[in-house]
Amino acid sequence: MLGRVSLDSGRVLLDHMEISNSEFPNLTKVHIAACGTSWHPAQTGKFMIEQLASMQVEVNYAREFRYRDPIVTPTTLTMLITDSGETADTIAARRKAKSRARKRWRSVTWSAPW
């Protein structure tokens, strides 16, 4: 979250998400789907979002998100996190999220600092 959260103003900077500021207040839930070691930063994100936004967050392994029938509505934001780029489970989870909620999804690739 370095560079994305301003501790001085309390603002979260998500310009790259292609979601307008007017859409954020309408969000009611966040799904985070992650693969492998990306599950750990997904859990950290869950706690941060719940604390900062008081919003319900659900974290799933991408393979579970892919095969279950998650409740995704137009007011749900789905985030996909992977540390290795595009994996089969992440791609399938993204397809499912896009088919259900149009543009309210975001894929994030992170790199461990070591």
pLDDT in tens, 14-28: 666 667 777 778 888
Q: Residue 18's pLDDT is what? A: 66
**29 or 113, higher pLDDT:** 29
Q: What is the pTM of this model?
A: 0.75
Q: How many CB atoms lie within 10 A of CB 83?
A: 18
pLDDT confidence of residue 59: 94
- Of 5 and 31, more confident: 31
What would the pLDDT profile of 50-93 be if each residue is shown by its tens digit?
988 889 999 998 888 878 878 888 788 888 887 766 677 777 87
| pLDDT value for 56 | 94
**Res. 43: pLDDT tops 90:** yes
* Longest Cα separation, the chain: 41
108-114 — which CB contacts under 8 Å span 24+ positions? 108/79, 108/80, 108/81, 108/82, 109/81, 109/82, 109/83, 109/85, 110/38, 110/41, 110/81, 110/82, 110/83, 111/83, 112/37, 112/83
